[in-house]
A and B are shown apart, each in its own frame.
Chain A
Amino acid sequence: MAETLLDIRGLKTWFKTDDGMVRAVDGVDLRIDQGETVGVVGESGCGKTVTARSVLKLIDMPPGRFEAGQILWRGRDLVPAEESEMNKIRSREIAIIFQEPMTSLNPVYTVGDQIAEVIAQHQKLNKKQAMAGAAEMLRLVNIPNPQRRVHDYPHQFSGGMRQRVMIAMALSCQPRLLIADEPTTALDVTIQAQILELMQEMKERFGMSIMLITHAMGVVAETCQRVTVMYAGKVVEEAPVKALFGDPRHPYTQGLIRSIPRVDRAARHKERLEAIPGTVPSLLEPPPGCRFAARCKYVTDICVGAMPPLKEVAPGHFVRCVL
């Protein structure tokens, strides 16, 4: 069995607002093993980004706070960890890339400076060596003319190239886990294909694990081994990728898969899309029952009364549904 790198247990990250407590992440369990790509899917506001940021403790506290749960990184709980300890883990062991590369790069420094800063901070190198390391990283992520491009500023790169720079920066300290938060959402489809391929290459090269956060089911199907589906702050289903797409058990997962038109079945069946009615519920004081109950076509009285537990329906396949 591969080593378990990250094991999130019963994590609750809540935010205090003027209107009350927002339960953004409300009891999430998530495990990532060595060498695995795990997808975290769900719609906006389901808590996938907050979960990811909680792992690196990139949440402003207050207004946020860890209400309960553990984040075990190779057996050690990060929830009580000091900032100085977290700084050793960030980049060196767990790195993150964000959706919008333009807002996550500093516009007034060259990309070389920014990558070299990360390298210099974690490895005892002088400026010149760090800069050479930065150029090497740019070469690795297939940016043409890396020696010259290290001296360019972020605005001189296209969207896809900026995401490559972000990946270069994230991988510069060879982390064991890369958290990719919607890495291709802002990109065009041909560029998305390039970036996904690059991530796969880098994963094999460095033997790292990836936590891929996305709302695109197609991206999940093509890149992940296991998938966790989130809805309104809760995990509703977790399964190996083939089981999830072949035999989705939760009505929400079923709805997500059926509501997307399929290019590969080109116009063969011009049927209506199966839309999920309604919208994601508010996370302010959510009702006690299943969070999906209000939109679910199989809803019963039991669903509204109490939150169903996450139970194993097949080996490695967990569902939070009474049916």
Chain B
Amino acid sequence: MSVDNELLSVRDLRKHFAVKGGVFSREIDRVYAVDGVSFDIGAGETLGLVGESGCGKSTTGRCILRLIEPSSGEIRFKGTDVTRMSGPALRSLRRDMQIIFQDPYASLNPRLTVGAIVGEALTIHELATSRRDLEDRVVQLLETVGLQADHMRRFPHEFSGGQRQRIGIARALAVEPKLIVCDEPVSALDVSIQAQVINLLEDLQEQFGLTYLFIAHDLSVVEHISTRVAVMYLGRVVEIAPSRDLYDNPLHPYTEALLSAVPIPDPTVKRKRIMLQGDVPNPIRPPSGCHFHTRCPIARPDCSQRVPELRESQPGHWVSCHYRG
């Protein structure tokens, strides 16, 4: 699954959360949030990670930064295994990888000024030589994301949702990272503001040569911004392909259904919709074999027995289905 110029490589990543209960709070169950995920990201590209709520896309993003400790698997950043790092190595890793969160209201400390929020990482990583330098850098960062110098003395509540998301982006950029995990960065924003933030992220990528892991549930946004897209279902990747390929020629029945469910803002377009029955099953006891077999329109009896491998069906187009591709 290798890509040119590989920056990040994830192999068989798993994260299981224990469900505790009973008098001695013993583990009574397990949530298989991420259940064997593998993908690569090349330097300078944007990998989109899509799927419905509970499919494990955010957990995957957080495991990569080790904000959540993975249960098993390997995460290589520039060839070094991130899962074994600790102390100073981990700290310097965090300079290279940053994250932008979904909720711009919850991810900024309301008691700190914008200047303190953006400058905090510069201080921690000792990147500013003096107070004066720190201030200059913060101003420069705010201007890069389309805010103004005098905003640095204000508090987060004085800003709109779109502006707060810009503050979050400035904070991520402060340490000059190589990879930014964007966890639903525009989902909480109005459509007209969404477009502003997407355009900003694209401009910054070009300007600083950034690499993005772009996590979102909105397929149209992901298609627009991504070089390649990985589709997740119940903790597993079911399909990875260059974004154009995936949308023109989806192979996995889940991808197909997901794409056909997106409403198109054009009343003259009439499409055939593939209706999936029922809800996403509980990740505590995911279905056996292929996780999708309970809702799959083309499932056959053995789909509940055998777990499909993610295999390359066409150059660069990977799919995990026994009967497609």
Interface residue ranges, A against B (CB under 8 Å) = 43-44, 158, 160-161, 188-194, 196-197, 215-222, 241-242, 245-246, 255-257, 259-264, 266-268, 270, 272-277, 279-280
Contact = CB atoms under 8 A, between A and B. Distances in A.
Nearest to B188: A44
B257 A190 contact: yes
Contacts, number: 133
B191 A263 contact: no
A221 B192 contact: no
Given A158-B279, A245-B267, 11 more contacts: A188-B52, A193-B273, A215-B190, A217-B191, A218-B263, A259-B194, A259-B195, A266-B223, A267-B223, A273-B198, A273-B224
Interface string B225-261: 0000000000000000001100110000000011111
A245 B202 CA distance: 27
A260 B273 contact: no
A194 B220 contact: no
B277 to A, nearest CB: 8
Given A259-B192, A267-B243, A272 B280 contact: no
A263 B247 contact: yes
Nearest to A41: B191
B301 interface: no
B151 to A, nearest CB: 14
Nearest to A246: B268
Of listed B160, B162, B267, B273, residue having the most chain A CB within 10 A: B267
Closest 7 CB pairs of A and B: A218-B263, A266-B247, A261-B224, A275-B195, A267-B244, A259-B195, A188-B52
Interface of B: 52-53, 160, 162-163, 190-196, 198-199, 202, 217, 219-221, 223-224, 243-244, 247-248, 257-269, 271, 273, 275-276, 279-280
A255 B192 contact: yes
Of listed A220, A266, A276, residue having the most chain B CB within 10 A: A266
B265 A257 contact: yes
A160 to B, nearest CB: 6
Contacts of B257: 190
Contacts of B219: 189, 263
Contacts of A44: 190
Nearest to A161: B279
A255 B190 CA distance: 12
A266 B244 contact: yes
Contacts of B269: 221, 264
Contacts of A273: 195, 198-199, 224
B182 to A, nearest CB: 15
12 contacts: A43-B193, A217-B191, A241-B267, A242-B267, A245-B268, A261-B198, A264-B271, A266-B247, A273-B198, A273-B199, A275-B192, A276-B192
A218 B267 CA distance: 9
A269 to B, nearest CB: 10
Given A261-B223, A279-B162, A266 B265 contact: no
Contacts of A217: 191, 265
A161 B280 CA distance: 12
A260 B265 contact: yes
B220 A260 contact: yes
Nearest to A224: B267
A217 B163 CA distance: 23
Nearest to B198: A273
B265 A221 contact: yes
Contacts of B194: 259
